[in-house]
Amino acid sequence: MSVRPLLALTLLSATPVFADTHDAGLSYGPRPAWLIGQMDDGELKTKLQSCLGQTPSRTDFSIGHRGAPLMFPEHTVESNVAAAGMGAGILECDVTFTQDHELVCRHAQNDLATTTDILLTDLADTCVTPFSPASGDTEASAECRTSEITLDQFRTLTPKMDSSDANATTPEDYQGGVAPYRTTTYADGAHLLTHAESIELFRDMEAKFTPELKSASVDMPHDGFTQEDYAQKLVDEYKAADVPASDVWLQSFDLSDIRYWIENEPEFGAQAVYLDDRYEAFDDDEGEIDPMDASTFKPTMQELADMGVNYIAPPLWMLVTSKDGEIVPSVYAEEAKAAGLNMIAWSLERSGPLSDGGGWYYQSIEDVTDNDGVTYELVDALAQDVGVAGIFSDWPATVTFYANCMGL
């Protein structure tokens, strides 16, 4: 089924919250009010409470991270319809490629075992690591890649919530393991997307685009398909759809991809987003990167700007720290701002409940993270003090509400 009829069917069958993706039909749902209710009393809480009756409007400050995967299978039609229905002005398709070098929306080239039903189909034979049951101290495992199947085969798969059961002894059991703060309620009937279909879908919903070029799990070139071919094909699909470069924020963790776009597709390269994961270069012996130590930023922020990079996107915790019980900008954020770099933060509402410090995404402010109301304290610090251009979220209504309330 093509995307346009599929979109129509999806909207007709959606719950009232997501029944219309135009501004007149947008809805925050109950989550923003619930988060505000968890906040400590203060000026910010009072301000947000005053906006509880406001009419939602779409905002580019709110970015759907893989759609709305807190409740919907990521990178599906339904996940993105939900995100658009919550006012996300920009939507994401993480892009990888199939065996026949067609571009599809998946968070990783090798995630099919946890995001689809491939292990329950005949395509399980294509998995580079077949399902292995849990035994003793060894966890269940499998690895299945889009690069091992054609586009036609990819279309036969059924998406599911990203999960796996480490204790599984059968492929059927391995389908479980969904985090308790997520849900399978909206998983049935979800539909996968190619990158080209995501362009059509997002445009139909009046949203803009932030595709991420994912690292390949296979050696490149792959059957003659080079990294440069891969980066160029991503841009070419926007050109073929007559999408203006100003509506597209290309993303990559690989700085060479960013530089390729800057040099070869300057209109698109001007908004290319360098997803900064340089903290991963610090192993246990060297220690984690310190967002308060500018000497750990190599290349420096100014060097990035001199390369033509205009956007940088690190995880939430890299942009903030805590001081005297308050969330404040990190040196990392101050250095980026001084170099004139636009900052985008990822990814809100990916940690689950925040009563125990918030986990990986909140590690630099864990000492002040003790309840879910801290979500809005962090959003406020990122927006007002750090000055980010947008925030990725697994449930975009949260960011949309804040942006509408503050007039962003």
pTM: 0.94
Whether residue 214 is found in the same domain as residue 68: yes
Q: If we measure between CA atoms, which residue out of 292, 220, 291 comes closest to residue 254?
A: 220
Whether residue 290 is found in the same domain as residue 377: yes
Number of independent structural domains in the chain: 2
Q: Are 7 and 80 in contact (CB under 8 A)?
A: no
Whether residue 229 is found in the same domain as residue 355: yes
**Residue 215: CATH number of its domain:** 3.20.20.190
Please report, in angstroms and rounded to a whole number, the separation of the first and last CA atoms in the chain: 38
Whether residue 128 is found in the same domain as residue 51: no
Q: Are 297 and 341 in contact (CB under 8 A)?
A: no
Residue 270 CB neighbours (<10 A):
17
Instruction: Write a three-state SS string for the chain.
Output: CCHHHHHHHHHHHCCHHHCCCCHHHCCCCCHHHHHHHHCCCCHHHHHHHCCCCCCCCCEEEEEECCCCCCCCCCCEHHHHHHHHHCCEEEECCEEEECCCCCEEECCCCCEHHHHECHHHCHHHHHCCEEEECCECCECCEEEECHHHCCHHHHCCCCECCCCCCCCCCCHHHHCCCCCCCCCCCCCCCCCECEHHHHHHHHHHCCCEECCEECCCCCCCCECCECHHHHHHHHHHHHHHCCCCHHHECCEECCHHHHHHHHHHCHHHHCCCEEECCHHHHCCCCCCCCCCCCHHHCCCCHHHHHHHCCCEEECEHHHHEEEECCEEEECHHHHHHHHCCCEEEEEEECCCCCCCCCCHHHHHHHHHHCCCCCHHHHHHHHHHHHHCCCEEEECCCHHHHHHHHHHCC
Indicate whether 183 belongs to any domain.
no
Whether residue 159 is found in the same domain as residue 223: no
Q: If we measure between CA atoms, which residue out of 295, 329, 327, 325 comes closest to residue 314?
A: 329
The CA distance from 64 to 268, in Å, is 20
Length of the chain, in residues:
408
Indicate whether 200 belongs to any domain.
yes
What pLDDT is recorded for position 296? 74
- Which residues lie below 8 Å from residue 250, measured CB to CB, with a gap of 6+? 210, 211, 212, 213, 234, 235, 257, 258, 261, 268, 269, 271, 272, 273
Residue 182 CB neighbours (<10 A):
17
Indicate whether 142 belongs to any domain.
yes
Indicate whether 187 belongs to any domain.
no
Q: If we measure between CA atoms, which residue out of 60, 35, 57 comes closest to residue 48?
A: 35
- List the structure tokens of 400: 């949309």
Q: If we measure between CA atoms, which residue out of 302, 322, 305 comes closest to residue 369?
A: 322
Whether residue 42 is found in the same domain as residue 121: no
Whether residue 285 is found in the same domain as residue 159: no
What pLDDT is recorded for position 11? 43
Indicate whether 164 belongs to any domain.
yes
Whether residue 83 is found in the same domain as residue 159: no
Indicate whether 29 belongs to any domain.
yes
Whether residue 290 is found in the same domain as residue 367: yes
The CA distance from 262 to 309, in Å, is 8
Whether residue 228 is found in the same domain as residue 310: yes
Q: List, run by run, the mean pLDDT of 10-residue segments along the chain (408 residues).
A: 49 39 80 98 98 98 98 98 98 98 98 98 98 98 98 98 98 97 96 98 98 98 98 99 98 98 98 91 54 80 97 97 97 97 98 94 97 98 98 98 97
Whether residue 255 is found in the same domain as residue 395: yes
Q: What domain range includes position 300? A: 3-93+193-406
Q: Is residue 246 exposed (0-12), middle (13-18) or buried (19+ Cβ within 10 Å)?
A: exposed
Indicate whether 179 belongs to any domain.
no
What pLDDT is recorded for position 289? 64
Indicate whether 388 belongs to any domain.
yes
Whether residue 203 is found in the same domain as residue 165: no
The CA distance from 100 to 32, in Å, is 43
